[in-house]
Chains A and B, each alone.
Chain A
Amino acid sequence: MRPILLSGHERALTQVKFSKEGDLIFSVSKDHNACAWYANNGERFGVYKGHQGALWTVDVDPNTVLLATGGADNTIRLWEVKTGKLLKTWEFGTAIKRVEFSEDGRLLLGVTEKRQGQLSTVIVYEINPDPEAEQTSEQSLRIVCDELPKVTVAGFSYLSKYIITGHEDGSVSKWDAKTGELLQNVFVHDADLQVTDLQWSQDRTYFITASKDKTAKLMTVDELEVLKTYVADTPLNSAAITPVKDYVILGGGQAAMDVTTTSARQGKFEARFYHKVFEEEIGRVRGHFGPLNYVAVSPTGTCYCSGGEDGYVRVHHFDPPYFDFKFEVEREKENQSRI
């Protein structure tokens, strides 16, 4: 099927997310706006205006009632999805690089940038899922990263038990989500090449990290063990795990100004599909004119979207061959389980 182009942003996309039902797509951009779109036809559902700087991050709660955004104006904002009403603004000393709700939507975390003599922190707020309710100004947890390099990405594990963070130096850490105690810090990516993304499996027992070291890693929450490594030929900005099929999708590419070689083709602005278990590349999707800054998969497993440096969101609904493709051993396994 032909991709649907979501054109409405005026500058580079920084993050895209699906609602948990898979029917809406939320996008944030350097143009200061967050947008919501219908995943099936690409029509715009709404715009969330108010931020005074580039937006870096967006997330939506499991009920698709509350939307959180964060960016360069040093605020996290909470919006009502349906009406676009601004419900709460939390202010900080530096930019917000990441926001994420817990699986039950009762907690919201934010990552503040290390800058101007301020350390990088992960902060947590308890969230009231009712859009009419007053939201708290009190942080329920604040993790200050004084001994580890700055945090680039973070999220809550299954049961909101742990907070997993990715760092500027290529390491990944696990923290007790109640006490903020550091439990583990492991080096998984090449030294000093930052972790650029962290996305969960549906049950949040494992996750995928993307890195500037041109690899993505599938890791367990419980041991922070690397289960799989996906090797690409370009720095990665994002990686997603597909439900239904055992694939992962990687996105990245080098911006023109960073490409020392001559040809634009060197940018490698493609979404790459790998088999999750066998680590083998199985396909690529072209289309963007600049690096892919984010890739997200619908929780229903029927489509994915990518947000590019070129200012476009591209939505691809999967064709039957995508679902039909199977390795011989996968088919064999299915036949066995049928008997």
Chain B
Amino acid sequence: ADEARRNTANREIVEQRRRLLDEWLAWREKTVQYLREEREDLGLATLSLEEAAVKEDDEANGKVVE
């Protein structure tokens, strides 16, 4: 019975994390989309200068972080 209870509790934690991750990804998608449109409307590049600084360096060094 203890094990059954533990399993149920674990399942609930996993369910909760799944929900949090989905919520987060949905919010990010919405926000990134909004920012992209704002930058486009202002005639700016997709990435800000500071975001581009990181990207360029990664490409230049052929770095793979993951």
User: Which residues of A does B touch, CB under 8 Å?
Assistant: 19-23, 62-64, 103-105, 158-159, 202-206, 220, 227, 243-244, 246, 277-278, 299-302, 323, 327-330, 332-333
Determine the distance from Cα of A243 to Cα of B65 in the docked complex, in whole angstroms.
10
Are A20 and B17 closer than 8 Å at their CB atoms? no
Interface of B is mostly: helix
B25 proximity list for chain A (CB < 8 A):
333
Residues of A with C-beta under 8 A to B21: 277-278, 329-330, 333
How distant is the Cα of A204 from the Cα of B63 in the complex, in angstroms?
A: 24
**CB <8 Å contact, B65 and A203:** no
B57 near A277: Cβ-Cβ < 8 Å: no
With contacts A159-B42, A300-B63 taken as known, whether A21 is within 8 angstroms of B54 at the C-beta atoms is yes
CA distance A328 to B38 in the complex (A): 35
A203 contacts B32, C-beta separation under 8 Å: yes
CB-CB under 8 A from A301, the residues of chain B are 65
Q: How many residues of B contact A (CB 8 A)?
A: 27
A105 to chain B, nearest CB (A): 6
Between A and B, 24 residue pairs with Cβ closer than 8 Å are A20-B50, A20-B54, A21-B54, A21-B57, A62-B49, A63-B53, A64-B53, A103-B51, A104-B50, A158-B35, A158-B48, A159-B39, A204-B48, A205-B35, A244-B66, A299-B50, A299-B54, A300-B57, A300-B65, A301-B65, A302-B65, A328-B14, A329-B18, A330-B21
